[in-house]
Each structure stands twice: as structure tokens, then as C-alpha cells.
Chains A and B, each alone.
Chain A
Amino acid sequence: MASAPSSTSRVHLPDTARDLVKILVTGPFGVGKTTLIDSVSEIRPLHTEEHLTEASAQVDDLDGVRDKVTTTVAVDFGRISLPDGIVLYLFGTPGQERFRPLWDDIAYGALGALVLVDSRRVDASFDVLGLVEESGLPYAVAFNAFPDAPRHYTQDQLRAALDLDPGTPMVTCDAREANSSLDALLALVQHLIDRQNTATAPESV
């Protein structure tokens, strides 16, 4: 990478940037979203602070105690410039149901979602899989390889536990390794290509 005069200037887009696309990197708390994005991003990790006024207002109504409390949540993002003016953005999107309005806003126009799953706590991913499926975004699942993960699960068992469609790609991944993160993203993009081919294939009789 060329050295830049200041950390700020590196954030500005190259003049060649033309097609901006995004993928959501999502999953439960602490699953490795930020780690995966940082492993492949060309810019230093950035995040936006999102205010969730409506959600907290509902909670407050139930509480009947606090008033006008705004919760904030940080949404990380990273960026990869590809040849031909394509710039791929990765958004680390929290997968909890209560973040749905934020989720929908980030998901608008996205190519798809990479859903990170921690095989030590598969059930923590049910919420996010529900969100993804309702949003209609195509997705792939990446099991993050934590050292103390149970090894006795077979791919079939993990698929069954998550109730995945047979067509949904499932890979294992070490989010700390750029190559591994790229492979997980590639599994998703290949899935998008395959879907498209199926959709546009001439009907067989």
C-alpha cells in the first residue's frame, strides 16, 4: 500500500471507484464480525454510531421509569477496492432482533449476508438467521473456528441444528486470517452467482 499523508486521506475513495456494493457480516455478540472485517479491509477499522431511539422508547414505556433514553450501537465497516472500479463494503451488522430497523436500513441494496456462527453456541444464531431470512437477503454461513469448539459436530449436524436449506453454503472459517475470511466471502459470492445462473437458465422441458 502506498503511504498516505494522513490517516484521514486514506479513507477517501479512489477516483476509479464506480460500482459500490455491500455485504453484511452478521451474527451474534462476540462471534468475530469485527475480526473478519479487519482481516480484509483496506481502510483502518471505522464505525458509525447508530441511535436507536424508537426501540429504547418502547422499552422505556414498559419501564415507565426513564424518559427519552437513546441507546447507541456501533456498526463497523470496512472496504475492499477490487479491479474495474468495484468497491466492496463489509458492514458488521448486529444480529439481534431489537436492531431490526437498523438491520433493514443497512441491508437495503446489499448483495447478501455472511452469517457467522460460533459452534460453541449455535442457538445464539437463531435470531440472526430469522432476520436474514425475513429480509430476503441471500446468505452463506461461516462457522468460526474457536479453539475450544466442539469437534464432534458433523456438517450435517450443524446444518440440522441451524435448519439450513440444502442450497445454503456452509464453510468453516478463521476470521483472523485474511485468506480464510476471503474464502468465506467467496462462498457467498459464488452462491449469488449460482442463484443467478439458476434463475436465468433456460427452462428445461
Chain B
Amino acid sequence: MTARPGGRPLVPAYLATGGTARHPRLRLERLSLLLRSDKPVPDGLTPAQLALLDELADGTLTVVEAAALLRLPVSAIRVLAAELVDRDLLVTRAPIPPAERFAPDLLKRVADGLRALKH
């Protein structure tokens, strides 16, 4: 696959998730949006939680974008984000519901948008 640009992960994956493999309730998709809430950052957060909040200070990211920027596996971001949602520090929004993804109007807008990019 693609060679990764050099550098170690900012936070080792095993520390980032504190050993938990899965969060019991919230299942985040790769394209779920992560948004910072208004709540101030409390003391006692882990470095990985702080690193994620830090990335989100500049704007909205999806789960995969956060994973790429923090160099953490998607599974680690899912856990981290769920922890931060529990603390009201993060709001998430699901991408388009799977049932709506084949709506003719949406598909047509995708096609029109792609056509407009051609030059």
C-alpha cells in the first residue's frame, strides 16, 4: 500500500484507547462528523483526548480525517470520540443515513457536481 510519511503516531494506539476495544453505546462511522462543544476543557483528560479536542478547535472533522491527522487507527478515534461525547465535550453527527443515499435527487446532484469539475 502507500508508504506513510515518516513519524511515529502522536499517541500510541494502546494508550489512546486505555485498553478498551469498543465503546458500549456509540457506534461512530468513518464519516461521522466530530464537532467541539462549547464546554470548556476540564482537567484530567488523557493526552489522546486532548489531542483530538485540539484538532477540532480549528473546525469540524470526520472520524477518518481525525485518525489521519492524529495518526491513530480509526478504532481508537471511535473510542476517544465516544468518551468525549460522554463528557459533553464533543458532538457527533452521522453522515447521510444509508437509506437515503440512493435518493435520486442526491445522486443527480453528485453527478452534476462531478460534471462541473471537468475542464
Interface residues of A (CB under 8 A from B): 8-9, 11-13, 15, 17, 19-22, 34, 40, 45-51, 73-77, 80, 82-84, 86, 88-89, 91-92, 94, 105-106, 108-111, 178-179, 182-183, 185-186, 189-190, 192-193, 195-197, 200
The count of chain B contact residues (Cβ–Cβ below 8 Å) is 45
Contact B68 A47 (CB under 8 A): yes
Q: List 22 A-B contacts (CB under 8 A).
A: A8-B69, A12-B58, A15-B60, A40-B117, A74-B2, A74-B4, A75-B1, A82-B109, A82-B110, A82-B113, A83-B109, A86-B106, A88-B114, A89-B31, A94-B1, A105-B30, A109-B98, A111-B107, A178-B117, A182-B114, A183-B118, A196-B107
Asked if B83 is at the interface of the complex by the 8 Å CB criterion, the answer is: no
Q: Considering the chains assembled together, what is the distance between the CA atoms of A109 and B63 in angstroms?
A: 15
Contact B118 A48 (CB under 8 A): no
Q: List CB contacts (< 8 Å) of B66-119 with chain A.
A: 67-69, 71-75, 95-96, 98, 101-102, 104, 106-119
Contact A9 B59 (CB under 8 A): yes
Query: Inside 8 A of A88's CB, which chain B residues have their CB?
Result: 110, 113-114
Q: List CB contacts (< 8 Å) of B20-35 with chain A.
A: 29-31, 33
Please judge, given known A-B contacts A48-B64, A186-B111, whether A196 and B102 are in contact too, CB under 8 Å: yes
Q: Considering the chains assembled together, what is the distance between the CA atoms of A179 and B119 in angstroms?
A: 7
